[in-house]
Amino acid sequence: MSAPDETSFELLLNIQSYGDQELKALADKLAGEEREVSKRRRLLHGELDIIRAEMVRRLREKHRAGSSVFSDGDIGQLSAILSGRGVAGEHDGPAGEAPEGQ
């Protein structure tokens, strides 16, 4: 495989010129890279699950202790999001107004 840059799309530009062994080697290489990416993705999902579980645990603990689980403005922001106005600070126009042309 005499491709210019093995990490670029250029590998695939002359795919018809590769021999059977070169194609198999390329397929094996890319399959290995895909396995690494999938493993990393699974690890990230696991970390996110742990973080979310901790956040839920803390909210439940606050609720059991009698504290409010909502901060000031949470309900207002949720109402704005659900009504299509978005979150405060997302728009260029005055609060609650869409930018001109929308």
Tens digit of each residue's pLDDT (9 = 90 or more) over 22-42: 999 999 999 999 999 999 999
* Residue 99 domain flag: no
Look at the chain and report how many structural domains it folds into.
1
pTM confidence score: 0.54
* Residue 47 domain flag: yes
* Residue 20 domain flag: yes
Whole-angstrom distance, CA of residue 53 vs CA of residue 46:
11
Is 91 exposed, middle or buried, given 0-12, 13-18 or 19+ CB atoms closer than 10 A?
middle
pLDDT, tens digit (0-9, with 9 covering 90-100), for 55-79? 999 999 988 998 877 777 787 888 8
Asked if residue 97 lies in contact with residue 87, where contact means CB atoms within 8 angstroms, the answer is no
Please choose, from the candidates 56, 59, 6, the residue with its C-alpha nearest in 3D space to the C-alpha of residue 29: 6
Residue 14 structural domain: 10-82
* Residue 31 domain flag: yes
What pLDDT, on a 0 to 100 scale, did the predictor assign at position 2? 46
